[in-house]
Amino acid sequence: MKNIVFVAAPAAGKGTQSDLLVKKYGYAHISTGDLLRNEVASGSEFGAELKKIMESGSLVSDEIVTELLRKRLECDDVNNGFILDGYPRNVAQAETLDTLLESLGKKVDVCISLDMDMDTALKRALGRISCPQCGAGYNKFFDAMKPKTEGICDNCGSTLISRSDDNEETFKTRFETYIKSTEPLLDYYKDKGILDVISCNGTPEETFNEIESVIK
């Protein structure tokens, strides 16, 4: 299976599409946002520092995130193909990633950009809810993504929660950070000939069908 990098604006659907790919094909899903949120949930002082940065909408330092990623890439499950969701976030991270993967005898096979306009991304962010128990994601503003019972996880019945950085003010900073730091990555992967841009203003299933045609 291919090693995939997702590049997308906040709330464009990287997590949702990753979950669908994991379910159908068994990819290893590496989300640096999740790795950081695990640190925050541990309740450590370091986690409290990370929380402040993440809630401001800025990026955590390259060194910290790269170290978390390096450890994760040592796990055996990445050998059968992985999805990187949220890393790289800038060109320096993309270069570090290439070096890191080369030392492990691996490479990025395809970069999938999920293209979404800012207003839709904002609506997605403000409606995003997820299950703290099983990780399933939903959206209260989009019919195709609503849970069957309002506020309750379809899979395990837990109460759904919102992310603390999914508010309008933080979203705008995160979107600006995306345009300034992350969007230049599209040229980086285009120059390597491995960029595919997919419009994701439709339903998650429509986007997933397009992604499948790219990875096959």
Binding site for ligand AMP (CB under 6 A): 10, 32-33, 36, 53-54, 58-60, 65, 86-87, 89, 93, 174
Q: Which of 37, 89, 124, 172 is catalytic?
A: 89
CA-based nearest residue to 61, from 52, 165, 98, 72:
52
Using the minimum distance from each CB to ligand AMP, give the nearer residue, 49 or 152.
Answer: 49
The answer to whether 174 is a known catalytic residue is yes
Using the minimum distance from each CB to ligand AMP, give the nearer residue, 175 or 208.
Answer: 175
Bridge pairing between strands 195-199 and 137-139: unpaired
Q: Which of 14, 37, 72, 124 is catalytic?
A: 14
Amino acid at position 189, single letter: Y
The answer to whether 128 is a known catalytic residue is yes
202 three-state secondary structure: coil
Using the minimum distance from each CB to ligand AMP, give the nearer residue, 86 or 147.
Answer: 86
The answer to whether 163 is a known catalytic residue is yes
Q: Which of 2, 123, 146, 163 is catalytic?
A: 163
Residue 35 beta carbon to ligand AMP: minimum distance, rounded to whole angstroms: 8
- End-to-end CA distance of the chain, in Å? 9
Residue 90 beta carbon to ligand AMP: minimum distance, rounded to whole angstroms: 7
Q: How far is CA 33 from CA 14, 54, 155, in A?
A: 11, 9, 23
Separation of alpha carbons 118 and 79, rounded Å: 35
Which residues belong to the active site? Answer: 14, 89, 128, 163, 174
